[in-house]
Structure 1
Amino acid sequence: MTPNNTFTLLDADGRPYLSLIPGRFGGHRRGRIYGRLDCPSALRALSRGAYRAHRVFFADEATAISAGYRPCAVCLPAQYAAWKAVRHTNSP
């Protein structure tokens, strides 16, 4: 969180902006993955001290997808399966 109760989120182009409303989804910049804020996998990584430096936040799922992030297989299994099916269909 930044001063004055603002939050830094990423927009659909992956650019940071300040928001008065916290993000509803978190992500990992290096892995280009997004998921729920209570994702067990992300929480484990955070507790180990990893991940924090590359953590990003999104206002909603559509913004995360537009920014080029894929759904987490752990906390968003249905969305991940749909993403994987489309990716598999489009591969050579």
Structure 2
Amino acid sequence: MCKENVETKLYTLIDKSNKSYKSEIKGKLGGHKRLKIYGRLDCPSALRYIAKGQYVKYRVFFTDEETAIAAGYRPCAVCMPEEYKQWKKNKGK
């Protein structure tokens, strides 16, 4: 039996140094490159902007929260309110 040539889906993610790279693993968090915000993939605010076509151009993805923070992004106040409060409390330190 002959194996079919199956292409592996590659995703573009952002690493800790804010550089993009290809991965077979889908990102767990999404973000906005210009605003430097990250959040859940099901964030209602991001989904509204995506539906309007205003967000897609600057959309980025991360494997985890640690990577997003290291790349200089902050949590979304809408979908990650507790993380956002903590970030806001600590941003001046």
- Same fold flag (TM > 0.5): yes
Partner residue of 2:53?
49
Given residue 83 of structure 2, which amino acid in structure 1 is its aligned partner?
Answer: Q
Cα offsets for 1:24-56 (capped at 9, x unmatched): 000000000000000000000000110100000
Q: Is 2:14 aligned against 1:21? A: no
Secondary structure of 1:50's counterpart equals coil
Name which of 32, 36, 40 aligns with 1:32: 36
Looking at structure 1, the residues matched to 79 and 10 of structure 2 have their Cα atoms a distance apart, in angstroms, of 26
Which runs of 5 or more structure 2 residues have no equivalent in the other structure? 1-6
Shift of 1:66: 0.3
Looking at structure 2, the residues matched to 50 and 13 of structure 1 have their Cα atoms a distance apart, in angstroms, of 26
Higher fraction of helix: 1
Instruction: Supply the RMSD in Å over aligned alpha carbons.
Output: 1.0
- Give the % identical residues: 54
Q: TM-score, normalised by structure 1?
A: 0.91
Give the length in aligned residue pairs: 87
